[in-house]
């Protein structure tokens, strides 16, 4: 029975609770049992709040009996990257420094999920201070890929990808500054959204890079992702960077068609170095889109390599400011790898940093002119290779670790600098049985288009229904 329940999608289980075919207690207990079963192998949780979750589930069932469904996530258990603040509750940010930190504020997205009826199941493992694209964590232990625990999950939202992929929860919030939602989504075989900058409030989360941080959901299906995005998006007076424009009902708009959609395949950068099995998955997915009526064409994009370097400059500079006090007073409490990713920021001059910021408008304008006058969306691999092993990406390991990490993030980081939305979607498996994913990259605030195209793709394929054996 537990396996049957946890294998449902978020929208399926929410509908089952609403129709009283399942209770929130049954669903929450099934997730807890699954989490306890997989935790020893993949280490996806930092905290599993089983008793509190069951208590909240009982209240959700009682509320349903008395007055009906509170919201579109009523009674559904979710777990989140351990950097979304709840007033008075520990939020470790995957670090030793904040192991016992209790913020006095609650993040906007957490409030909105609660208002929609979601159950908080626990805090998920993550790269220390969201500063690692592989998922390594020296303080809480490395998170492991549910498809093969010897391999990396991707990061920094490592526990989010692993927990959703392992069916320990129905969805999760992560953060994406250079690929930290899309990488674990791709590596763990789930859907992950990096939204347009400003679509979703960042109030009440630990920052990594103010200029590029975004919040996005990881889920089993595109429909699930659309539902959560609709719940958490829209204006927030506590985050002045948020859009004030009306947010579409993304789930309702999934029903359209994509005949005539112009889908671009970049001829430069994004496919460079892709392995044969990744290329095959990309070609197979493009064939599905073509069968759905999309018009596939090749397109050259402005140099993403230069954009990558500018994005890195901003991230490192801003992180060095955020961490300056702790690095001065508690340097020994950082892992060596995370320190090495932050400290170079102290050598970036104000003029270089400001120039990198100011060039964003130029490159976005260039991207809009050269790309989005010709196509509506871009189609690229999320990673050009299957997820490598934890040992291969261990910062202390010998060999080409830097080169491997660069290959992992080369296709995701440019999107954060430009502020564009990107959706990671499962697209098959590598020769060694690990998930492969494509990403659709759209114009600013075109999430509805990305969701619709990806949803129709999932109607024609079944990769998103596969469950790892743990």
Active site residues: 81, 156, 180
Question: What's the burial of 21, exposed, middle or buried (CB within 10 Å: 0-12/13-18/19+)?
Answer: exposed
What is the layout of strands, in order, in the sheet containing 377-381? 171-175, 215-219, 191-194, 422-429, 435-442, 377-381, 262-266, 295-299
Q: What is the enclosing helix (H) or strand (E) of 454?
A: helix 447-460
Neighbours of 298 (CB within 10 A): 11
Give CA separation, 451 vs 56, 80, 112, 252, 466, in Å.
Answer: 31, 22, 21, 11, 20
Q: Give the C-alpha separation, 390 to 150, whole Å.
A: 6
The DSSP code sequence of 427-441 is EEE-TTS-EEEEEEE
In the 8-state DSSP scheme, what is residue 200? B
Q: Give the C-alpha separation, 303 to 367, whole Å.
A: 9
Nearest 10 degrees: Cα torsion 446, 191, 293, 272: 90
Q: Give the C-alpha separation, 71 to 73, whole Å.
A: 6
**If we measure between CA atoms, which residue out of 74, 70, 73, 30 comes closest to residue 54?**
30
Q: Give the C-alpha separation, 192 to 219, whole Å.
A: 7
Does the bond joining 212 to the residue before it have cis omega, within 30 degrees of 0?
no
């Amino acid at each position: 029975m537990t396996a049957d329940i946890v294998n449902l999608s978020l929208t399926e289980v929410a509908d089952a609770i609403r129709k009283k075919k399942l209770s929130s207690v049954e669903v929450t207990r099934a997730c807890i049992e699954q989490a306890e079963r997989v935790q020893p192998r993949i280490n996806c949780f930092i905290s599993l709040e089983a008793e509190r979750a069951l208590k909240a589930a009982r209240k959700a069932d009682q509320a349903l009996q008395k007055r009906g469904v509170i919201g579109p996530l009523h009674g559904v258990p979710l777990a989140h990257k351990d950097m979304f603040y709840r007033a008075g509750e520990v939020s470790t940010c995957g670090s030793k420094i904040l192991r016992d930190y209790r913020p006095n504020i609650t993040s906007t997205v957490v409030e909105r999920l609660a208002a929609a009826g979601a159950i908080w199941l626990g805090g998920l493992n993550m790269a220390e201070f969201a500063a690692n694209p592989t998922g390594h964590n020296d303080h809480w232990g490395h998170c492991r890929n549910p498809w093969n625990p010897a391999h990396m999950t991707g990061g920094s939202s490592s526990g989010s990808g692993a927990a959703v992929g392992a069916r320990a929860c129905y969805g999760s919030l992560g953060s994406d500054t250079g690929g930290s939602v899309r990488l674990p989504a791709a590596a763990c075989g789930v859907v992950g959204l990096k939204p347009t900058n400003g679509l979703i409030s960042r109030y009440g989360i630990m920052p990594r890079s103010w200029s590029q941080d975004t919040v996005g959901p990881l889920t089993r299906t595109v429909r699930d992702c659309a539902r959560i995005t609709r719940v958490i998006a829209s204006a927030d007076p506590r985050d002045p960077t948020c859009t004030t424009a009306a947010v579409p009902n993304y789930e309702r708009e999934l029903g359209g068609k994509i005949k005539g959609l112009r889908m671009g395949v970049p001829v430069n950068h994004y496919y460079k170095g892709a392995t044969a099995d990744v290329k095959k998955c990309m070609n197979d997915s493009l064939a599905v889109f073509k069968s759905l009526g999309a018009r596939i064409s090749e397109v050259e994009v402005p140099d993403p390599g230069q954009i990558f370097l500018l994005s890195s400059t901003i991230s490192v500079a801003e992180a060095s400011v955020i961490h300056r006090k702790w690095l001065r007073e508690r340097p020994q409490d950082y892992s060596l790898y995370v320190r090495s990713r932050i400290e170079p920021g102290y050598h970036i001059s104000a003029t270089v940093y400001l120039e990198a910021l100011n060039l964003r408008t130029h490159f976005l304008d260039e991207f809009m002119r050269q790309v989005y006058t010709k196509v509506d969306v871009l189609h690229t691999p999320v990673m050009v290779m299957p997820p490598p092993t934890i040992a291969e990406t261990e910062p202390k390991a010998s060999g080409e670790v830097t080169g491997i990490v660069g290959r992992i993030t080369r296709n995701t980081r440019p999107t954060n600098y430009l502020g564009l939305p990107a959706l990671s979607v499962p697209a098959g498996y590598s020769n060694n049985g690990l998930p492969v994913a494509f990403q659709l990259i759209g114009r600013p605030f075109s999430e509805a288009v990305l969701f619709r195209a990806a949803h129709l793709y999932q109607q024609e394929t079944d990769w998103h229904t596969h469950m790892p054996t743990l």
